[in-house]
Structure 1
Amino acid sequence: MTVAIDVAPVSPDGASTDQVIRQVVRSRLVAITDQMRLALQSVSGSPTVTEASDFFTGIYLPDGAFVTMGHQVTFEAPPVGSLIRHLLSNGTKLKDGDRIIGNDPFIGALHQNDVQMCAPLIVDGELLGWAGVMAHETDIGGMDFASWSPKATEVWQEGLRIPAVKLVDGGELREDVLEMILTASRLPDQVGLDIRAFIATLNVAAERLTDLSHRYGKSTVLSVMHTMVDDAEALVRARLRELPDGVVHTRDFLEHDGKQNLLFVIDCVLTKRGDSLHFDFSGSSPQANGFVNSSRAGLAGGVAGAVIPTLGFGIPWNEGLLRPVEISAPDGLVCTAVPPAPVGSATVEAVWTVSNVVSAALNRLLLASPKYAHRAQAVSSGTMATFNLSGRDRHGKVFGLHLMDPLAGGFGAFADHDGQNAAGPINAPCPSIADVEVNEQKTPLFYHYRRLAPGTGGAGRRRGGLGAEVGITVSVPQAEALVMTHGAEVPNSVGLGGGLPGAMVSQRFRAAGEQPRDLGPKPGSFPITPADLFEVTWQGGGGIGDPLDRDPADVLDDIRYGLVTEVEARESYGVVLAGDGGSVDATATAAARRERRAARLGVEPVAVMDPVAVTDAVPSDAVRLGDRLLLVKDAATGRFQVRTPEGVVLSSGSTKWREGAHRFALTLPPSVGTALHSDLAVTGWACPSTGALLAVDVHLSGHEPFHDLELDLASFERTGTTAGDHR
């Protein structure tokens, strides 16, 4: 039966009001989404799906709003909805059993490798909703293996683009369409199996939703779907009203477009008013000539990738979380590129960097909220260094690998605990990577090592999680490696409240009989043999708070566990070990820390309050904007002030506290990296009296750092916000 999808969906009139039944239906919808995941992973032969969970499954309302999603990649929540809305806007006529495939970044995908499928869920002739699935395919054609080409100047060079095509027509697979898609790929067997896994996934959703509707009624199911989204919206809006109003300005950078080592800016101005968020990316760089751009769909994915996990804790994840969000940016930016701009590496370049700035902005608001400050987090794993491998295996068969190990970057520190090691980015809530043995079994890859990389976590009172590192080669006479990243010259995993960034990416290649050489951010393709060694260290998470405030006992533990070296302990944390190396020399440590604070100021500092005592000294009506930044209302003038725990006033009448702080050029320690991009500078901000580090700004050389936080102080008056102890 053919159904025009602009026909009104099932009416929710007559839906059951029994709350037990409604909760059962809600739980079944979530379970169906997980059954979709199981179907996808059971049929797929791609390690990207089966081992690394780089995919998305979800159920959608008739208008394309997602009702459920798995805990895989939060970037990928909006794109399938964009594909559905594209079909709706075209007035496409569909029938039961149709399955539509697409991957066009200028319609809804993040990049061409993200193949997506959707299915109208038609029950007894009426449109109840949609099911959607999406996953990264290792190769979808183009001028280079893996469809990521540093040489690309146009999107047509990057692989097959599928707008929105019926792959299954009324339950019948269109073999001609499938053959056309597979012919474009260098890995047709792998892509073909994944596409059949997509179909199986959508079939599971259709069968389960039909059964659910027949048992409890179509009106009840649709009503519950709407309610799930409405409830999530209400909960997140209530949470937003608990955060202060104001404007937050954050920036991040990505280097090298595959051709020139230019620096591109992702600029985010977040305006928070009441229960809504407005993200403005107008200050970002124009679109690049190379493949680092994202389309507008990628921008939406990057925003969702940070908003959902940062604000959605304790709330069902669906479209309701994004309803309070508005995004603005003109066309033609590096994050809103228009055809024919190449966008092949969007997910690991512009989209990822968008997620970084959104995360940084939201966490500044969380830190300024007494109720949620303990959840404030530095940026996690600010990039994904990409390694692809292709060639012929020992049997002469073509193989291809998209290595997902780089998901083992470090998690950003939290205000009340260290970041987890190798915990990955926030956009992958349940990250996983293949066992070494699995990768070596499926492809001729050989690991020399895979381990945590000491010193990669951003230094701070709370330390960022460590990133991991690998040394790999091949077990066949020769293969082709494709290597690219950003963050080799940009510390993307920035800290918060004086915390240092996590380490930058380091990519090295040692050919047989030669010394290792640094590859930089975009070396592209090169041959690799069993006598060669490729090594890469991924970014750690950013730190929170002045590293000189970290408990020396915690630093000693870090040394004992191999997380921090003795050199880093001394250089970043000012911790000196006793002669036996098994304990802290308290006197030497106090002297070293005072010396470092003096170096920041250029003069001897006054005594700094112990970080433990700081908590006890915070007035009950103060709001903490950082470890050593307190927003208080002056009793004498009635004006809000930002001051330190020692009583040094940095600003009055605004939260632009940098006006009263001491500014100095900060040299990042060797543990972060020494290859800072020539267009970047790092500025530190310290208390002018004590030398305590208040913030670290990574900014364009020759440009003044900006105030990142301008709170609406009247909102504190309206809400009667007080701080208490939320350290």
Structure 2
Amino acid sequence: MSKLSDIELQVMWNRLIAVVEEQAQVLLRTAFSPIVREAGDLSAGVFDREGNMLAQAVTGTPGHVNSMAESVKHFVRVFPVETMKKGDIYITNDPWMGTGHLNDFVLTTPAFHKGKLVGLFSCTSHLMDIGGIGFGPDGTDVFMEGLYIPLLKLADQGQLNETLMAMIRANTRLPIDTEGDVYSLAACNDVGCERLSEMMEEFGLDDLDVLSEHILSRSKAAVLEAIAELPKGKWSNTMTVDGYDEPVTLACTVEVTPSGIHVDYTGTGDASKRGINVPLAYTTAYTVFGLACIVGKDIPNNAGSLAPLTVSAPENSIVNALKPKPVASRHIIGQMLPDVVFGALRQAVPDRVPAEGTSCLWNLNVRGQTDEAGLGNYGFMMAVTSNGGTGARPMKDGLSATAYPSGVKGTPVEIAESITPLIFWRKEFREDSGGAGTTRGGLGQVIEVGSRIGKPFDLLAAYDRIDHPPRGRDGGKDGAAGAVSLKSGKVLKGKGFQLIPPDDRLVVMTPGGGGIGDPSRRDRTKLAKDVSEGLVSAEGAKAYGG
């Protein structure tokens, strides 16, 4: 065809984004795991023949999308594009070549148009159980944490690898759900391949080469233009979090130059003996997401926009843990990293950066037996997604009970109760948990849950911000610390396997976000509204000088 105009290329770019969003919706609507279909813990994207991500779905999480962006390059390295055939599907859950832990399966499928390989589709979702000790931080190496799948062919020219599927089914407590999730991942890539071919037919494209170059070059140029407006220099920050059995220091230096932004984690603590370690791919994913929230936040996410944002960390630090370190709960540390970076950037652009928030998800990872038999699964296991408050923003309050930076939605109580033998007695905002300030931190929540069948259940706790709550800034107060206990009064650990007795209830109090600015300067109308809505108590209002 004749030379494409910028307008035509922009229309195709937008169409490509629509294609991957449909790809993600297929996964969202067909997944078996509730953390995917209810909370959106997934990613979907399209790549060129070299493995460069051209577009990602808006539906999904940064930890999946930005680490999946590198996964495809690993597939292309092991399975060169010249050898790929129509109907091939590739799979892995390698934490160091995928998205950071074994519970995430990554599937990549070559896309063909008129018999020619033109690109690749890839997707990721969280599977609830892949064997081992379960989805918790108690493991002491990655082999203890579950089934480990290297980069393999799931299908060869349309023929499913039945041996591999049998191995997957045999190594999970939820064989039906796990098998269904694998098929869901494969189906969403298939839809992406079909829609891409339809798009190329409509626009008369024989390949994606020109469109790829346009997307990557324009995106990179736009990010560099945004970086050019920032002050140049180096800024450092440290943050202490709870860790597994001792506090962990997270340290970063952010360097802004005309050619990009580099974040280095020298000074960060050593890798842990337990599963809160983070592979570098996941560290990079959340670090660059944090940067992108401040720099060029309206630029579509792809290999071009990511190129000027780079990350380094010392080997076998907790943010660059090497195999075979345990990594099952890598999100605890990994999702703190935007806050660590923000603490450095606030010294350069304070009006763009929020205070610290809960950051890591406060999921109820629960497991146990049911009264039902013969359904093909061995009891139940579920991650009931729940969240604390985000940090106050310079001009706005923080968001309450909101997952930032992960972006997942909270699991509806009705869904959790319909597929587990649990009953939720309370799920409400936690009064006074948001840090006081001119702008207030977002509120955490109180969740109370027990068994409805008179049987104990397991809590695989993976929480932080209990001993080290989110910090306020510029005179703003810290957010409330998180807490985990039984209703009878026993305090539970923030991390690790614990049994919830059948005659007691689990009580989880998620943290609140830190505040910004002198609380006495808070708008009195806003404070009165907070009190009237039960977000701030009359006693808590005294922190504002009211």
Q: TM-score scaled by structure 2?
A: 0.94
1:564 alignment partner AA: V
With over 3 angstroms needed to count, the CA separation of the structure-2 counterparts of 1:548 and 1:359, relative to structure 1, is: same
1:488 to 466, 469, 477: 466
With over 3 angstroms needed to count, the CA separation of the structure-2 counterparts of 1:154 and 1:275, relative to structure 1, is: same
- What secondary structure, in the 3-state scheme, does the structure 1 residue paired with 2:476 have? coil
- What secondary structure, in the 3-state scheme, does the structure 2 residue paired with 1:39 have? helix
1:345-360 aligned at under 5 Å gives the runs 345-347=329-331, 349-360=332-343
Contact 2:458–2:497 (CA<8 Å) still a contact in 1? Answer: no
- What secondary structure, in the 3-state scheme, does the structure 2 residue paired with 1:95 have? coil
With over 3 angstroms needed to count, the CA separation of the structure-2 counterparts of 1:445 and 1:24, relative to structure 1, is: same
2:544 to 570, 573, 577: 573
- What secondary structure, in the 3-state scheme, does the structure 2 residue paired with 1:517 have? coil
Q: Whole-Å Cα distance in 2 between the matches of residues 15 and 130 of structure 1?
A: 25
Query: Shift of residue 351 of structure 1?
Result: 1.0
Q: Whole-Å Cα distance in 2 between the matches of residues 178 and 218 of structure 1?
A: 36
Q: Whole-Å Cα distance in 2 between the matches of residues 274 and 495 of structure 1?
A: 31
1:272 alignment partner AA: V
With over 3 angstroms needed to count, the CA separation of the structure-2 counterparts of 1:339 and 1:477, relative to structure 1, is: same
Q: Whole-Å Cα distance in 1 between the matches of residues 215 and 2 of structure 2?
A: 14
- What secondary structure, in the 3-state scheme, does the structure 2 residue paired with 1:59 have? strand
Q: Whole-Å Cα distance in 2 between the matches of residues 516 and 208 of structure 1?
A: 56
Q: Whole-Å Cα distance in 1 between the matches of residues 232 and 6 of structure 2?
A: 36
2:516 alignment partner AA: I
Q: Which moved more, 1:222-231 or 1:107-116?
A: 222-231
1:288 alignment partner AA: S
- What secondary structure, in the 3-state scheme, does the structure 2 residue paired with 1:566 have? coil
1:223-372 aligned at under 5 Å gives the runs 223-257=210-244, 261-347=245-331, 349-367=332-350
Question: Where does residue 518 of structure 1 map in the other structure?
Answer: 491
- What secondary structure, in the 3-state scheme, does the structure 2 residue paired with 1:244 have? coil
Query: Shift of residue 15 of structure 1?
Result: 6.5
1:537 to 503, 509, 520: 509
With over 3 angstroms needed to count, the CA separation of the structure-2 counterparts of 1:245 and 1:149, relative to structure 1, is: closer
1:116 has 2:116 as partner: no
1:133 has 2:123 as partner: yes
Query: Shift of residue 102 of structure 1?
Result: 0.5
Query: Shift of residue 167 of structure 1?
Result: 0.3
1:464 has 2:441 as partner: yes
Contact 2:64–2:124 (CA<8 Å) still a contact in 1? Answer: yes
With over 3 angstroms needed to count, the CA separation of the structure-2 counterparts of 1:121 and 1:15, relative to structure 1, is: farther
1:402 has 2:382 as partner: yes
Q: Whole-Å Cα distance in 2 between the matches of residues 256 and 25 of structure 1?
A: 46
Q: Deviations over 1:84-116 (max 9, x none)?
A: 211233354321221111111122321111111
Q: Whole-Å Cα distance in 1 between the matches of residues 383 and 2 of structure 2?
A: 48
1:90 to 67, 78, 88: 78
1:106 has 2:96 as partner: yes
Q: Whole-Å Cα distance in 2 between the matches of residues 327 and 271 of structure 1?
A: 10
1:32 has 2:4 as partner: no
1:438 has 2:415 as partner: yes
- Structure 1 or 2, whichever has the larger Rg, is 1
Q: Deviations over 1:49-79 (max 9, x none)?
A: 1110011111112222222112321111232
Q: Whole-Å Cα distance in 2 between the matches of residues 214 and 417 of structure 1?
A: 47
With over 3 angstroms needed to count, the CA separation of the structure-2 counterparts of 1:54 and 1:125, relative to structure 1, is: same
2:195 to 195, 208, 217: 208
Query: Shift of residue 405 of structure 1?
Result: 3.2
1:573 alignment partner AA: Y
2:65 alignment partner AA: A
1:89 alignment partner AA: R
With over 3 angstroms needed to count, the CA separation of the structure-2 counterparts of 1:198 and 1:245, relative to structure 1, is: same
Contact 1:388–1:400 (CA<8 Å) still a contact in 2? Answer: no
Question: Where does residue 168 of structure 2 map in the other structure?
Answer: 181
2:134 to 126, 130, 145: 145
Question: Where does residue 686 of structure 1 map in the other structure?
Answer: none
Question: Where does residue 430 of structure 2 map in the other structure?
Answer: 453
Contact 1:253–1:353 (CA<8 Å) still a contact in 2? Answer: no
With over 3 angstroms needed to count, the CA separation of the structure-2 counterparts of 1:282 and 1:45, relative to structure 1, is: same
Q: Whole-Å Cα distance in 2 between the matches of residues 75 and 360 of structure 1?
A: 20
Contact 2:365–2:384 (CA<8 Å) still a contact in 1? Answer: no
Contact 1:74–1:308 (CA<8 Å) still a contact in 2? Answer: no
Question: Where does residue 402 of structure 2 map in the other structure?
Answer: 423
Query: Shift of residue 292 of structure 1?
Result: 0.9
Question: Where does residue 593 of structure 1 map in the other structure?
Answer: none
Query: Shift of residue 168 of structure 1?
Result: 1.2
Q: Deviations over 1:459-495 (max 9, x none)?
A: 111001112221111212212222231211111x333
Query: Shift of residue 325 of structure 1?
Result: 1.2
2:45 to 40, 43, 58: 58
Task: Give % identity.
Answer: 27
1:562-641 aligned at under 5 Å gives the runs 562-570=534-542, 572-575=543-546
Contact 1:460–1:499 (CA<8 Å) still a contact in 2? Answer: yes
Q: Which moved more, 1:279-288 or 1:120-129?
A: 120-129
Q: How many residues align?
A: 539
Q: Deviations over 1:218-253 (max 9, x none)?
A: 456432233223222222211111111122212223
Extract unaligned runs of 5+ from structure 2. none
Query: Shift of residue 275 of structure 1?
Result: 4.5
Q: Whole-Å Cα distance in 2 between the matches of residues 232 and 469 of structure 1?
A: 42
Q: Deviations over 1:328-385 (max 9, x none)?
A: 22211111111221111112x2211223212333444332xxxxx3x43223332222
1:376-415 aligned at under 5 Å gives the runs 376-396=353-373, 398-407=378-387, 409-415=388-394
2:529 alignment partner AA: D
With over 3 angstroms needed to count, the CA separation of the structure-2 counterparts of 1:359 and 1:170, relative to structure 1, is: farther
Q: Deviations over 1:654-711 (max 9, x none)?
A: xxxxxxxxxxxxxxxxxxxxxxxxxxxxxxxxxxxxxxxxxxxxxxxxxxxxxxxxxx
Superposition RMSD in Å: 2.0
With over 3 angstroms needed to count, the CA separation of the structure-2 counterparts of 1:18 and 1:355, relative to structure 1, is: same
Q: Which moved more, 1:32-41 or 1:301-310?
A: 301-310
Q: Whole-Å Cα distance in 2 between the matches of residues 474 and 439 of structure 1?
A: 12
Query: Shift of residue 412 of structure 1?
Result: 2.0
Contact 2:118–2:207 (CA<8 Å) still a contact in 1? Answer: no
Query: Shift of residue 304 of structure 1?
Result: 2.8
Q: Whole-Å Cα distance in 1 between the matches of residues 293 and 55 of structure 2?
A: 14
1:535 alignment partner AA: V
Q: Deviations over 1:392-418 (max 9, x none)?
A: 2221353434334323x2122121121
Question: Where does residue 685 of structure 1 map in the other structure?
Answer: none
Q: Whole-Å Cα distance in 1 between the matches of residues 383 and 65 of structure 2?
A: 23
- Following TM superposition, where does structure 1 have runs of at least 4 consecutive aligned residues deviating by more than 6 angstroms? none
1:556 has 2:528 as partner: yes
2:305 alignment partner AA: L
Q: Whole-Å Cα distance in 2 between the matches of residues 561 and 83 of structure 1?
A: 46
- What secondary structure, in the 3-state scheme, does the structure 2 residue paired with 1:382 have? coil
1:290 alignment partner AA: R
Contact 2:137–2:496 (CA<8 Å) still a contact in 1? Answer: no
Q: Whole-Å Cα distance in 1 between the matches of residues 528 and 212 of structure 2?
A: 52
With over 3 angstroms needed to count, the CA separation of the structure-2 counterparts of 1:527 and 1:404, relative to structure 1, is: closer
Query: Shift of residue 569 of structure 1?
Result: 1.8
Contact 2:137–2:495 (CA<8 Å) still a contact in 1? Answer: no
